[in-house]
Structure 1
Amino acid sequence: MKIFDNSKMYPFYFLLGFYFALKKGLFMLIGIIYFLVIVLANTIGAISGMGGGVIIKPVLDLLAKDSVAAISFYSTVAVFTMSLVSTWRQVKNGISLNWRLVAFISAGSILGGVGGNVVFEGLLLFLADESLVQLIQITLTIVTLIFALLYSRFDWKNYHFDSLISYFLSGLVLGFLASLLGIGGGPINVSLLMLLFSFPIKEATIYSIATIFFSQLAKIVTIAFGTGFGRYDLTMLFFVVPAAILGGLLGSRFNHLLAPKKVTLVFQAVIVLVLLINLYNGWQILAK
């Protein structure tokens, strides 16, 4: 009886094995890039109150090849995880929070977060060109960055609003921008909280992170009951979530140790860096 000789198939098996090894290696490489970017971004984000997304979003736009929606989703999960860890760590360290303020700003940020995600999904459907949506995000991010830089650099007048409606409306605006831009709130949170409620920067960073938690929670819930998670590669979360936890722990630790002037310097330095990255990303889109 003649036995089937499959030796001619060896080159095919070799190429098939090489393809899967290459694919797995590429996945690991992308995962490592995501991990390193998110650890660094969330550490800085937790120190400065920016939330990390303001760094994650433009850097992954620059380095990664995922869709605008996917990068926005990964950034949201990373910032949500970081804000949860950082807030828990701050409370554990004995930081006293005005829970009435947190409750009403968070209520506004939840509603704003839902609205921001609805507008984001609407832009993706209406424009049918991810580059245009990305350009809108970049433009609005640049505007908020410039405002935050000017506010932190110059001694602008502060207000002392203390009404529940002012807490709610500020949360509404912050949540909307955080969700729409996919940056978790970023520098606009800290600057607006300092402007409206006369918080010192270290206190503003703590309330900013607490607010970011609720706005990103609202966005994740909106995605779950809206488009769902089917269009995202959820295996990437094995890199995203641990990196976000590590960044949140490191950032809250450094925030507790650093003096307010050092926190301000970190805040301003990150704004300038991210502003340059966003300008470059915008130029790349326009040059296509």
Structure 2
Amino acid sequence: MLIIYFFVSMLASFAGAISGIGGGILLKPILDAIQTLSIQTINFLSVCTVLSMTVVSLFRIRKQPNQSKTGVNAFLGFGGVIGGIGGKALLNTALQSIHSDQLVGATQSLMLLFITIGVFAFIRSKSSITTQKNNNCMISALIGMQLGLISSFLGIGGGPLNLGVLYYFFSMDAKTASINSLFIIFLSQLANLVYSISSHAIPMVDPLILAGMIMGGITGGLLGNKVICWMSNSHVESFFQNLLLVISAVNIYNIAQFLR
């Protein structure tokens, strides 16, 4: 199983790097579909893998000029920290209250399905949508908090949702939105992990599986960054839209499996 987890993590990260959405939103549904781990364990593995991939991505772009406004970036990140803690607390509460991994898993898959379909529809009609130019620090923090909460609860990182929201509310270009998205993901998932450690909510995980998934995530991200250099913008956009359809199909399958 170690080899399977390594390649699943590498594949998700590879596809995420090419499409610019990160690997979490693909990794989480695939792990759910395999159905060999609990919801809490899957979320923990996904968070650790996404966090490691994000650290590598931020390290690679650290010398690139950040075109986003410093204030907006900082308040988005602050909101992401609060949301990351809130999302993890919400997941723990749901698991303790519902006492059913199946129902929680179905809820997560349904939310992921709606997010994926929403992003797909947004991308298809993006040219006809009038975007906003928000400069309010409080609104920026609230948006960051919501994005952090959703990504932390689902354990997905939040790439496509983040990009769509940042594009709409801040009129960010693709590069600036990507950098801000990585910043939110890093802080929200780090807060998630710190909260898990401090509240003793870390599930029993095979260290080899955890290490294998982290290495797979990093390897896939590095390979994806190399491959994307050979692809045209139209090919990347087509790949992204097809990937969203695949993610939707996997989530539909997971919902059926959880509810059967």
Instruction: Give the TM-score normalised by the residue count of structure 2.
Output: 0.91
- Distance between the aligned counterparts of 1:258 and 1:181, measured in 2? 30
- Distance between the aligned counterparts of 1:100 and 1:40, measured in 2? 35
Structure 1 pair 158/213, CA: closer, same or farther in 2 (3 Å)? same
Corresponding pairs, count: 257
Which of residues 152, 165, 168 is equivalent to 2:141?
168
The alignment's C-alpha RMSD in Å is 1.9
- Distance between the aligned counterparts of 2:164 and 2:231, measured in 1? 19
Note if 1:129 corresponds to 2:100.
yes
**How do residues 148-227 of structure 1 correspond to structure 2 at under 5 angstroms?**
148-154=119-125, 155-227=128-200
Counterpart AA for 1:48: S
Q: CA deviation at 1:147?
A: 1.1
Note if 1:31 corresponds to 2:30.
no
Contact 2:2 2:208 in 1 (8 A): no
Counterpart AA for 2:48: V
Q: CA deviation at 1:97?
A: 4.4
Note if 1:107 corresponds to 2:78.
yes
Give the match for residue 96 of structure 1: 66
Deviates more, 1:37-46 or 1:54-63: 37-46
**How do residues 1-288 of structure 1 correspond to structure 2 at under 5 angstroms?**
30-92=1-63, 94-98=64-68, 99-154=70-125, 155-229=128-202, 231-254=204-227, 258-287=231-260
1:227-273 CA deviation, whole Å, 9 max, x = no partner?
34352223312201211222232344455665544443232221111
Structure 1 pair 206/261, CA: closer, same or farther in 2 (3 Å)? farther
Q: CA deviation at 1:200?
A: 2.6
- Distance between the aligned counterparts of 2:175 and 2:38, measured in 1? 35
- Distance between the aligned counterparts of 1:268 and 1:257, measured in 2? 18
- Distance between the aligned counterparts of 1:103 and 1:44, measured in 2? 28
Q: Match of 2:134, SS?
A: coil
Identity value in percent? 33
- Distance between the aligned counterparts of 2:234 and 2:146, measured in 1? 27
Q: CA deviation at 1:213?
A: 0.9
- Distance between the aligned counterparts of 2:46 and 2:235, measured in 1? 26
- Distance between the aligned counterparts of 2:228 and 2:136, measured in 1? 28
Contact 1:201 1:263 in 2 (8 A): no
Q: CA deviation at 1:113?
A: 0.6
Structure possessing the higher relative contact order (Cα contacts under 8 Å, 6 or more residues apart): 2
Contact 1:50 1:209 in 2 (8 A): no
Find the structure with the greater CA-based Rg.
Answer: 1
Contact 2:44 2:202 in 1 (8 A): no
- Distance between the aligned counterparts of 2:216 and 2:65, measured in 1? 24
Structure 1 pair 229/243, CA: closer, same or farther in 2 (3 Å)? same
1:52-104 CA deviation, whole Å, 9 max, x = no partner?
11111111111240111111111111100001101111224x24243433321
Query: Any unmatched runs of 5+ in structure 2?
Result: none
